[in-house]
Every structure is written in C-alpha cells, then in structure tokens.
A and B are shown apart, each in its own frame.
Chain A
C-alpha cells in the first residue's frame, strides 16, 4: 500500500503569493517523522523541514511551514511569499518506527513572475 500520497502532479503560483502542497500518509506507527524535500532541476534533494509525530506545534523553517493534521494523516507544505527560485519538484517523505523512509511521487511547482 502506498505510504505517501501527493495528489498534485503540478502546481502554479504567482510570485509573492503563498502555495500549499498536499501530502497524506499512511501508517499505524505511533512514532514517525514527516519531511519535505526540494529537488531543483540540478537534481540534488534538499532537506526543507521536519515534523515529528509527537510534536504538537507545526514545524516552521523560514518561509516554509508544515501543516500537520494528525487525525487526517496529512502533512501539507506551505510556502509563503513564493520566489522564482522556489520552482522545483517537492517531495513529501515519512520515516517509520523502523527507520525506513518512504517518498511520495512529487509535485512540480512553477512560480510565475
């Protein structure tokens, strides 16, 4: 069964606007971690943000925030004040209790000037 689901293959956002990238996950573990990575056209996977399953506050890192809704098993990434350099593929990932990592199929974000 798919562990991570990203339902948006492609998204467009106007420069300086906010955008939400969706991610849902599936696990029966109590302890797990959720991650977002950015992959520009150069290919490197860049770690953006992390949320632990026991963290009560939503994680934030600069313009990135993770909207964690545990009951819905969703971990959406919010990018505020989009910049042209934000155009990239974005991957949601989960680490389970056994330290296995699972990745979604990605969302391609294009920022329009």
Chain B
C-alpha cells in the first residue's frame, strides 16, 4: 500500500511564526506535491518537486517555500504565517501517474 504521511493533522500558529509542514512517502516516488484546499476553490497547487533538491512553483507559491533534501521527504514552509494561510494543506506523491494523498493538515493561523 502507498503510504503518504503528514506530520500533523491539526496545527494552530500565530501570525508571523515560521511554520513547517512535513510530508513523507515510503514508496520511493520521485514526484511530490503540496496543495491547499479551501471551500469552493477545490485544490490549488502550491509547489511540486520531481526529484531531490528540485522544486517548481505551482499556481499559488506566494508566501510559501519548499525543501526536498531527501527523496522521501517534502517540506512546505510558511516563512511568516498570515491569517489568509489558514487552510487545509494536502501533500501527494505520484506512482504510475496516480496521485496518492496524505491525511491532510488543517492549519489555523491566529
């Protein structure tokens, strides 16, 4: 079974804090993705990575950065969290062209 693990299900942070969202997959997948999900907007791609140390901007990268130092781990970083980054964050990795998702992290920025 494909396993994509996100480190936190729920997270509450204060405005201005630096926030790390971690995602780990155990299937040696090359492609990994970070999305945010907001009601009525569906999933929007923030960043993706095709290999270690490689990253590509998605549709809404502003206010975010990513890190992929190891193949199995893809981290999303909010350098200075803001209230408009309150959202559901979903990590995914791809095997045989199918995306498999983690359980999601509900982030609240106060």
Q: What are the residues of chain A within 8 A of B109 when measuring CB–CB? A: none
Give bound CA distance, A45 to B98, whole Å.
12
Give the number of chain B interface residues (Cβ < 8 Å): 22
B74 CB to nearest A CB, Å: 15
Q: How many A-B residue contacts, CB cutoff 8 Å?
A: 46
**A-B CB contact pairs (8 Å), 10 listed:** A4-B42, A35-B99, A42-B103, A43-B106, A45-B101, A47-B98, A95-B99, A99-B97, A101-B45, A104-B42
Which residues in A have some Cβ–Cβ distance to B below 8 Å? 4, 33, 35, 37, 42-47, 50, 91, 93, 95, 99-101, 103-106
New contact pairs (4) apart from A35-B99, A44-B104, CB-CB < 8 Å:
A37-B101, A43-B106, A44-B102, A105-B40
